[in-house]
């Protein structure tokens, strides 16, 4: 609720309902998901989700990274449910255009390859304005599809982007359970802090981050202007 760029963002009205409710409902439609939960430190958000019949978990207000909040929520849920979850899919609450199939895109490679510990979806950057936008997290990858670096700055170099596909992080992020707990035990890193990007903690500690291309186009909400654009896009897609 205390977003510096858009205070109260999760509960902002979008097509007649709070934005966080759109995200929750879309994630819950994916057939691979056993349980959908909103992890928050704000009681207003938890009450909104519970009033709509959903699940919410209250977490610490001290977290700087969504991944750390997700790890705390996992531990709370495992204690409450008396069970162990295998994979935790973290979806940012500002992705109201998420298609449920995007979760399957991200999780499926992990089901076939036990060496993959964490995945991010890789979206396409379609305009110069998006490439220059600091709210868009740019990604460059190695030849095996693993992230080399993520940045709020334009990467790769502007002069060569016609020859190399410009990619962006889409915040649908499945972790294997033990890897998520390892992540939260690792010390925050200099580039993670400088860029304010969770996944740089993975790379700076020498661990692998698999990027998986998505066929779906989404637009995250970082500002009130983004909300207006997303509302227009969502209205158009539903007629």
Strands 55-58 and 37-40: parallel
Please count the structural domains in the chain.
Answer: 1
Does residue 1 fall inside a structural domain?
no
* Residue 180 in domain: yes
Whether residue 84 is contained in a domain is answered as yes
Q: Is the pTM of this model over 0.85?
A: yes
Residue 168 located in a structural domain: yes
Tens of pLDDT along 70-117? 999 999 999 999 999 999 999 999 999 999 999 999 999 999 999 999
Q: At residue 239, does pLDDT exceed 60? A: no
- Domain enclosing residue 113, as ranges: 9-238
Is residue 40 within 8 Å of residue 46, measured between CB atoms?
A: yes
What pLDDT is stored for residue 162 in this prediction?
Answer: 66
Main-chain dihedrals φ then ψ at residue 51, nearest 5 degrees: -65, -30
Tell whether 2 is covered by a domain.
no
Encoded tokens for 122:
């890789």
The answer to whether position 4 is within a domain reads no
**For the chain, how many residues are written?**
239
Residue partners of 200: CB distance under 8 A and separation at least 6: 149, 150, 189, 191, 192
Q: How many CA atoms lie within 13 A of 236 on its CB side?
A: 7
What is the token pair recorded at 222?
């970082």
Q: Is the dihedral of CA 197, 198, 199, 201 positive or negative?
A: positive
Q: What is the CATH number of the domain that holds 205?
A: 3.90.550.10
């Amino acid at each position: 609720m205390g977003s510096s760029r858009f205070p109260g963002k999760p509960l902002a009205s979008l097509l007649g309902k709070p934005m966080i409710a759109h995200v929750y409902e879309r994630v819950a439609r994916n057939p691979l998901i056993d349980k959908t939960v909103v992890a928050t430190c704000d009681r207003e958000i938890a009450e909104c989700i519970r009033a709509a019949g959903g699940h919410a978990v209250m977490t610490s207000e001290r977290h700087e990274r969504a991944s750390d909040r997700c790890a705390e929520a996992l531990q709370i849920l495992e204690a409450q449910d008396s069970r162990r979850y295998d994979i935790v899919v973290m979806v940012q609450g500002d992705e109201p255009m998420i298609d449920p199939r995007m979760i399957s895109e991200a999780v499926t490679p992990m089901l076939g390859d036990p060496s993959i510990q964490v995945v991010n979806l890789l979206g396409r950057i379609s305009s110069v304005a998006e490439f220059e936008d600091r709210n868009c997290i740019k990604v460059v990858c190695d030849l095996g599809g693993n992230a080399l670096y993520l940045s709020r700055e334009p990467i790769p170099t502007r002069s060569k982007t016609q020859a190399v596909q410009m990619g962006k992080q889409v915040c649908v992020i499945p972790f294997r359970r033990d890897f998520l707990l390892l992540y939260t035990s690792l010390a925050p890193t200099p580039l993670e802090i400088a860029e304010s990007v969770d996944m740089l903690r993975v790379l700076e500690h020498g661990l692998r981050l698999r990027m998986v291309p998505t066929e779906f186009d989404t637009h995250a909400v970082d500002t009130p202007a983004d909300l207006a654009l997303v509302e227009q896009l969502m209205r158009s897609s539903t007629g």
